[in-house]
Structure 1
Amino acid sequence: MSATRLLVLGVVRMYGTAHGYQVRRELHTWSADRWANAQPGSIYHALKKMAAEGLLEPVESGPGKAGPERTTYRLTTDGQTDYQVLLARALTEVSNDPQNAYAFCAALALLPTLPRERAVNLLSQRVNELRAARSNCALTMESAGNWGEPEHVAEMYRLWFTQLDATIGWATDLIDRLESGQYTMADDSSRAFGAPGSA
């Protein structure tokens, strides 16, 4: 799953209509190039690809202030659906793939676009997935002597177990913060971060 795709949909949704430079500039202010690997070329590519897929529709084209022609886009109904599906998937799927980590960071940045209960439910699913991964890791560590691998390879599993433990603790704390009313979520205010037209 592409973090850039989710972020582009989220920013266009937030602005109502946006052109590529606006999306790029907004994501730059979030430092999304660092935590989601959202690079300028991939942002423009995502806009064109999602327009071709019918997730975005061009609203207006015209010359840029000091550069090439700019096309302004808005989300279609399918784009809104895809945004919700990608956001939910990024919040719940657990994987060792670095692309999954980028997608999770993108989803975390867009978390306030969800109603509070939905965010809590999706994060709870993630915690369950993380606990299952931690259990599998523990079982693997218990049988490490039977692998026929060099014994120090078990250190990778100890590292992963520790990381999973820390991530579970952090996610559980985030759920607690959300349940106690911290952060303005989509059902708290129409001006919540990332809400349609909030930019």
Structure 2
Amino acid sequence: MSPTRILILGALLDGPMNGYGVRRRLEIMGADQWANVAFGSIYHGLSKMADEGLLDVVEAGKGGKVVYAVNDTGRMEFYRLLMGSWSTVQPIIDPFQVALTFMDRLRKEEIVAALHERRRQLAMNVEATAQAVGAKQRYGAPGHVNENLRLMGAMLQAQLDWVEQAIPRVESDELP
């Protein structure tokens, strides 16, 4: 199940758009922060979904600008993917877990320094996410988009809590 596919189809439910319009709509919703969407993949996704019969090309203008509209088949696919996303639980892929796997390959001082830096980065991100709640509405995002930011903030806070507990464990030679 591709989150980018759902995001593109969902954005087009607001009306026909070209690739740049879809990108702007997703940026307004903050998808660049919580969905790990590669904006370059939007153009490929639009073309592919048009080839699959999920989108109609409503305008092919100068300079390669193509305007797409979601059709009934695309709406059904959006609904199917959306409903599947509500109940699908997948692991969150985080490079930090790879680093944890090999923490025994580092010296204690390196681990402590890395954890302190991670704590600093996480604290900044928790604060920035908290400040972003409510701000997206000034640019036209629906209010419920704040829930994505709240969820992301809670996940960042959980990591920050873990790091703060791990630092003294490494310092006391409990870890690794």
Q: Which residue of 2 aligns with 1:43?
A: 42
Q: How does 1:1-199 map to 2 (within 5 A)?
A: 1-14=1-14, 16-63=15-62, 68-98=63-93
Q: Which of these two proteins has the greater Rg computed from alpha carbons?
A: 2
CA distance in 2, matches of 1:97, 1:86: 18
Structure 1 residue 11, shift from structure 2 partner: 0.5
Structure in which a larger fraction of residues adopt helix: 2
Compute the TM-score of the two structures, normalised by the length of structure 1. Answer: 0.46
SS of the residue aligned with 2:61? strand
Unaligned runs of 5+ in 2: 95-140, 145-174
Q: Once the 2 structures are TM-superposed, how far is the Cα of residue 97 of structure 1 from its aligned partner?
A: 4.6
Aligned to 1:135: none
Cα distance between partner residues in 1 of 2:28 and 2:83 = 24
Q: 1:74 deviation in Å?
A: 0.8
Structure 1 residue ranges (4+ consecutive) displaced by more than 3 angstroms after TM superposition: none
Question: Displacement, 1:4?
Answer: 0.8
CA RMSD of aligned residues (A): 2.7
Write the deviation string for residues 142-173 of structure 1: whole angstroms up to 9, x where unpaired. Answer: xxxxxxxxxx89xxxxxxxxxxxxxxxxxxxx
Counterpart amino acid of 1:46?
A: G
Shift of 1:19: 0.8
**CA-to-aligned-CA distance 1:29-71 (integer Å, 9 cap, x gap):** 22211211112211111101101110001011112xxxx3211
Q: Unaligned 5+ residue runs, structure 1? A: 100-108, 113-151, 154-199
Aligned residue for 1:96, secondary structure, equals coil
Output the CA distance in 1 between the equivalents of 2:89 and 2:20.
Answer: 32
How far apart are residue 98 of structure 1 and its match?
A: 3.9
Which amino acid in structure 2 is aligned with residue 72 of structure 1? V
- How many angstroms apart in 2 are the aligned matches of 1:98 and 1:52? 30
1:98–1:84 CA distance, 2 compared to 1 (3 A): farther
Tell me the distance in 2 between the aligned counterparts of 1:75 and 1:30.
19
SS at match of 2:68: strand
Distance in 2 between the 1:6 and 1:60 partners?
A: 22
Match of residue 124 from structure 1:
none
**Alignment identity in percent?**
41
Query: SS of the residue aligned with 2:8?
Result: helix
User: Offset at 1:83?
Assistant: 0.3
Question: Within 2, Cα distance between the matches of 1:29 and 1:92?
Answer: 26
